[in-house]
Amino acid sequence: MTQQTIPPFHLAFPVDDLEAARHFYKDLLGCSEGRSANTWVDFNFRGHQIVAHYAPDELSAAKTGEVDGHNVPVRHAGIIMDMEDWLATSKRLENEGIEFVIKPYIRFEGEPGEQATMFFNDPAGNAIELKAFKNIDQLFAT
């Protein structure tokens, strides 16, 4: 598989506190802030756009599905990082005391598609996954 350039994606999340979202995405995840208004804020999530919309009535508990022995939030957003960046980010988040939904670990170890993964929620309960592959050419391996 050849490495291809993935165009940026756009994702909108409901939040109940824009200032808490700013702190989380800017200070904890290192996202820069883009455009904003009284009811929404754009964040640069490693080249992709996450928009936090003030919409407290839209918040709900995430359903989960079993993957590799863990209850993974079905509705989640995430990105694929290189392994070095993933390791540094997981250490930084652990040091910041982030509460993980699924703590950083290696999924499918020794199998096709081996990957590092972690899940955590933003302050509004939106699930985020950060992952890295041992071999990116195995992204879609079966």
Q: Which domains does the chain have, with CATH numbers?
A: 8-55 (3.10.180.10), 63-142 (3.10.180.10)
CA dist 65 and 73 (Å) reads: 7
Rounded Cα gap, residues 123 and 22, in angstroms: 10
Model pTM? 0.87
- Sequence-distant (≥ 6) Cβ neighbours of residue 115 within 8 angstroms: 106, 107, 108, 131, 132, 133, 134
- Decide the pairing of beta strands 100-107 and 127-133: unpaired
Is a pLDDT exceeding 70 seen at residue 131? yes
At 72 the three-state DSSP class reads: strand
Q: Give tens-digit pLDDT for 13-44.
A: 999 999 999 999 999 999 999 999 999 999 99
User: Which whole number is the average pLDDT over 49-76?
Assistant: 91
> Would you say residue 96 has pLDDT above 50?
yes
Q: Over the range 36-52, which residues count as b (16 or more CB within 10 Å of their CB) and which as e?
A: eeeebbbbbbbebbbbb
